[in-house]
């Protein structure tokens, strides 16, 4: 779920994979052929994030100042804030997102909602798992441990629920502000977020995918015990 978040939505900085939809001349959607300037921006963005992660890992979140991050990334502090609205965002933003939305929309319309959600998650998760297990785990751990990040994470989940609701609305043809849709989306997101945080805190002793599937089946059964 962490990776469900739509990408960094800061004013100035737009990410490649979330290419300012609706703007005039959109750069190639794949991010491959971005303009020279865009490429440079991306690199700066990455440099800042990498510096941040390294320093935070070494010193902890609160002991790491934005100034240190800026210095390490060889930019000015003000530049950091031009790329990320807050210190929290540096940790929380992820470019490789929005994949899940894609995955969900690609499920056949005949599937029941929860089944589609399950398949979308397992599909996109499995993709991630081989790429960046260690880095993702480190990030998840940071998020669960630092209250500010945890709180922000919930805000991101809100946006994810929104996305999920829209996707479901499209699948089912129900109106956008349908109460049922809201309940389904928010319950699923709420449960999954909790389960994942819990799994991280419990030191990842069980298999995550299995845990998620068990959680989804409880939801399908109607929350009976």
User: Do residues 164 and 104 make contact, with C-beta atoms less than 8 angstroms apart?
Assistant: yes
Check residue 218 for interaction with a second copy (CB under 8 A). Answer: yes
User: Which are the contacts of 193, defined by CB distance < 8 A and separation ≥ 6?
Assistant: 1, 153, 154, 157
In the complex with a second copy, the residue whose CB is nearer, 33 or 112, is 112
215 binds, among a second copy, DNA, none (CB under 5 to 8 A by kind): a second copy
Burial of residue 28 (number of CB atoms within 10 Å: 0-12, 13-18, 19+): exposed
* Smallest gap from residue 30 Cβ to DNA (A): 18
Q: Give me the 68-87 binding string for DNA, x by CB under 7 A, dash otherwise.
A: ------xxxxxx-xxx-xxx
For the record, the structure tokens of 111 come out as 């599937």
Q: Give me the 149-188 binding string for DNA, x by CB under 7 A, dash otherwise.
A: ----------------------------------------
Check residue 88 for interaction with DNA (CB under 7 A). Answer: yes
In the complex with DNA, the residue whose CB is nearer, 116 or 143, is 143
Check residue 78 for interaction with a second copy (CB under 8 A). Answer: no
Check residue 150 for interaction with a second copy (CB under 8 A). Answer: yes
Check residue 54 for interaction with a second copy (CB under 8 A). Answer: no
User: Which are the contacts of 128, defined by CB distance < 8 A and separation ≥ 6?
Assistant: 3, 96, 136
Pick the closest to residue 212 from 200, 224, 196 (CA basis).
Answer: 196
- Contact pick of 130, 179, 203, 205 for a second copy (by CB under 8 A): 179
Check residue 217 for interaction with DNA (CB under 7 A). Answer: no
For the record, the structure tokens of 80 come out as 């950091």
DSSP 107-155: S-TTS-HHHHHHHHHHHHHHHHHHH-HHHHHHHHHHHHHSHHHHHHHHH
In the complex with a second copy, the residue whose CB is nearer, 137 or 183, is 183
- Contact pick of 35, 126, 155, 204 for a second copy (by CB under 8 A): 155
Question: Residue length, the chain?
Answer: 225
For the record, the structure tokens of 100 come out as 């899940």
Q: Give me the 8-37 binding string for DNA, x by CB under 7 A, dash otherwise.
A: ----x-----------x----------xxx
The C-alpha atoms of residue 167 and residue 108 are separated, in whole angstroms, by 12
Total chain residues near DNA (CB under 7 A) = 27
Q: Give me the 105-124 binding string for a second copy, x by CB under 8 A, dash otherwise.
A: -------xxx----------
């Amino acid at each position: 779920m962490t990776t469900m978040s739509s990408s960094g939505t800061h004013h100035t900085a737009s990410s490649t994979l979330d290419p300012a939809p609706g703007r005039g001349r959109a750069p190639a959607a794949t991010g491959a052929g971005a303009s020279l300037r865009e490429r440079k921006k991306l690199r700066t963005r990455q440099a800042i994030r990498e510096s941040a992660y390294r320093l935070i890992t070494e010193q902890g979140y609160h002991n790491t100042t934005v100034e240190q991050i800026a210095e390490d990334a060889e930019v000015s502090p003000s530049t950091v804030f031009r790329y990320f609205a807050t210190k929290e965002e540096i940790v929380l933003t992820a470019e490789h997102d929005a994949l899940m939305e894609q995955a969900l929309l690609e499920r056949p319309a005949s599937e029941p909602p929860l089944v589609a959600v399950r398949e979308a998650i397992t599909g996109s998760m499995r993709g991630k798992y081989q790429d960046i297990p260690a880095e993702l785990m480190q990030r998840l751990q940071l998020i669960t441990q630092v209250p500010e990040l945890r709180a922000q994470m919930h805000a991101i989940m809100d946006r994810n629920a929104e996305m999920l609701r829209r996707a479901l609305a499209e699948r089912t043809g129900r109106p956008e502000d349908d109460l049922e849709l809201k309940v389904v989306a928010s319950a699923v997101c709420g449960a999954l977020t909790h389960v994942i945080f819990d799994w991280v805190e419990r030191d990842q002793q069980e298999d995550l995918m299995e845990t998620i599937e068990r959680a989804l089946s409880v939801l399908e059964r109607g929350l009976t015990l």
